[in-house]
Each structure stands twice: as C-alpha cells, then as structure tokens.
Amino acid sequence: MLNALQNLAQSTGIAGFLGAGGFGWGNAVMILVGFLLLYLAIKKGFEPLLLVCIGMGCILSNIPLAYIAGVDPSNNASGFIKILFEAGIDSGLFPILIFMGVGAMTDFGPLIANPKTLLLGAAAQLGIFIALIGALLLSFIPGINFDLYAAASIGIIGGADGPTAIYVTSRLAPELLGSIAVAAYSYMALVPIIQPPIMKALTTKEERLIRMEQLRPVSRLEKIIFPLAVLTLNAILLPSATPLIGALMFGNLAKECGCINRLSDTMQNALMNTVTIFLGLAVGSKMEASHFLNLNTLGILFLGAVAFSLGTAGGVLLGKLMNKLSPKHPINPLIGAAGVSAVPMAARVASKVGQSEDPQNFLLMHAMGPNVAGVIGSAVAAGVLIASVPVISATHLIF
C-alpha cells in the first residue's frame, strides 16, 4: 500500500517540478513564461494569432510527466505536439504553407507601380547580416556559444518575418528554434513601439513632411506576370530560396489570375488559420526549460533587437539617399522603415508616423511597396544563408 502511494505521488506534477522524470523547477518557470505570452497576446494585443498558440504550446510542453512534446518512456508514444513538430517544422512544411497564404493575401501592385521601392526592401535586410556577425562576436563571451549555423539563424530575425526565421532555423540550428521563433514574433508584435523612435531619429521634419506622387494604376496582366517573372528569376539565380518564393508567388498568382477564387480564398482563410494554429503550438513546444533557460537565449533576444533595429535604420537611410538622388520624384524616407517583412504592420506604422506630422499625408500605399519587397527580400536572404553557410563552414574546416 505504501509503495502504491509513493508511486502515485511520483506521477504528479508536483513531483515532476521537484525533479521526477527529468523535469524540474525550470519547467515551472517556462510555464509562467507561457502565461506571460498569453497575457501579452490577449491583454496587450501583441500578435495574438500566433502568441496565443505559442504560449499554449510552451505551457503544454513544460507540464511534467505529460510528455505532450516528447516521448512517453512507459509506452514509447509521441505526444501530439511532437507529431505536429516533426510533420510541419522539421520538414519545413508549415512556413511554406504560411508563405502560400501570405502570397494569396498580398497585393504587389504598389511595388509594380514603383519598382524603386524594391531597393528599400533589400536595404532593410541589412540587420540580418550585421546580427550574424554580432552573434559570432558574442561567442567570445564565456557561456555563449554560437557557430555560423546559429549566427545565420539569429540574423534572420532582422527580417521581421516569423515563418522565414522558423524555416531557416529548422534547416541550420533546430536546437535554437524556440528562442528564435519567440524573438522573431515578439519583435514583429513590437513594430509600433520599436520603429517610430528610430524613424524620427534618422529623419528631419522636412523629410517626414514629403508628399509622394500618386501611384499609377497597375493592370491585371502586370499582376499576373509579376509572380511568374519573380519565380523564374529566382529559379535561375537562387534555387535555395525557391521553396519560400515559390509558395509566395503561387499564392499570389492564385489571387490575381481570377479563375481559382475558391482556392485563393482557402489559402487566405482556412489553410492559413489551420497552419497558424499548428505552427504556433509546435514552435511553443521548443520552449522547454532544458533548451530555453540559458545565456544563449539572452544573446538571441539581444541580437534580435539589434537586427530588427538595424533593418529599420537601413531602409530609412536608403530612403534618404534615394530622395536626395531623385529631386523630381521625391521619396519620403519613412517608407524605408516598411522594408522589414512585417506585413502590413510596418507599412501602417510608416503611414502613421507621416500623418503625425501632416494628417493629410497618406503614405500607406507607398509604404506597401517596400513592405511587400521586404517579404521577398527576407526569403531571398534566407536562400542565401541556407546555400552559403554549409559551404563556408566546410571551407573553414578544410583550411
């Protein structure tokens, strides 16, 4: 009888928090982190569609002896979130499906009407590569260890694109997935807080008051040709980015061709919502205490903020330069901040900052050009990293 009671006591969550089954107090801490994410999503409205799912995934994966995100040693059965993770994250499927839905919801018209804004989307990827270098430098601090694979995964946070960050990390540094995903989506949610001070610090009042010319109308034919042209160019120059770019352009073509509206609607709604639920739970499951509570996580959070800030600054600074070089067609540098891939939040922030100076200055459609360019830019940067990091690492080992 006494043994039975002892065995029963060892099967409770309290025993797990005290060390039973390989769990411990760290799991209790991470459950509190999960509740914090739920609070930020529900009360503060920070990216609720994803943070609610990530928060619940974090809580479920840290419940002692439940093995929801692991394998139960008593019967060798995998928990349901572990199955979701292996099917959608390990395989890279969920981020690709998210890109398909984003493509179906995106209007590339502003970018087609003003192709110069593609440069702003490219400039906003600056933070990715500077953060990569910063991660390697942080490795000199005792207790922090980032190799080139980890540094590349951390740098991609600067693109402010959660699915891209997840895709790259699952390929290069899957052990860091939880920390990087939370950092990426946290900074995406904080766009309205992080970006305005940087934008105002780098621009003058006169620049923020600049009114841009009205965009020309874009024909349906142009919108159909655009995704096909981008996909073709990508296939020729950077095949490693084709999974993300291909899914994005397929979704956009489904939207613009006008003959498969039912499929386009499914991508935008049912598919996007379903994958968001599964992706959020799977990502949250990687916030287990054993992987999350360490100096590496603090380094990732710090470098993610640096990457995102530098990406914003890069877009604004190039916008200032383009305005100087194009006196006949003025460009408001604020739209450069929308070059990060947080669609459409970054474009709305650029428009809001402009209207705080001049309520009649409507920059939203102009900002959507670099904003959608940023989506393409982050996917291209991901392809560059996935293709080049293994080659560089192998070369380093040889020499």
Q: What is the mean pLDDT of residues 28-45?
A: 89
DSSP string, 131-200: HHHHHHHHTTSTT----HHHHHHHHGGGG--HHHHHHHHHHH-GGGHHHHHHHHHHHHHTHHHHHHHHHH
pLDDT, the chain, mean: 86
pLDDT per position as a tens digit, 329-383: 899 999 999 988 888 888 999 999 999 999 999 899 999 999 999 999 899 999 9
Predicted confidence band of residue 143 (pLDDT cuts 50, 70, 90): confident
Close Cβ partners of 328 (under 8 Å, ≥ 6 residues apart): none
Taking only the tens place, the pLDDT of each residue in 194-235 is: 899 999 999 999 999 999 988 899 999 999 999 999 999 999
Percent of the chain with pLDDT over 90: 44
Give the integer Cα–Cα distance in Å for 145 and 154.
Answer: 12
The predicted structure's pLDDT at residue 21: 58
pLDDT digits (tens, 9 = 90+) for 307-340: 888 889 999 999 999 999 988 889 999 999 998 8
Q: How many whole angstroms from its chain centre is CA 124? A: 14
Q: Tell me the average pLDDT across 147-153.
A: 90
Q: How confident is the model at residue 72 (pLDDT cuts 50, 70, 90)?
A: confident
Domain ranges of the chain: 16-88, 92-398
Residue 283 · residue 292 · CB < 8 Å: no
Q: What is the mean pLDDT of residues 116-136?
A: 88
Query: Could you read off the pLDDT of 269-297 as tens digits, one per residue?
Result: 999 999 999 998 988 887 877 777 777 88
Angle between helices 148-155 and 162-172 (to 10 degrees): 170
Average pLDDT estimate for 129-134:
86
For residues 4-20, average pLDDT: 56
Q: Has residue 147 got a pLDDT over 80?
A: yes
How big is the chain by its Cα radius of gyration, in Å?
22
Q: Decide if pLDDT at 149 tops 70.
A: yes
pLDDT of 10 over the 80 cut? no
Question: CA-CA distance, 304 to 288, in Å (whole number)?
Answer: 20
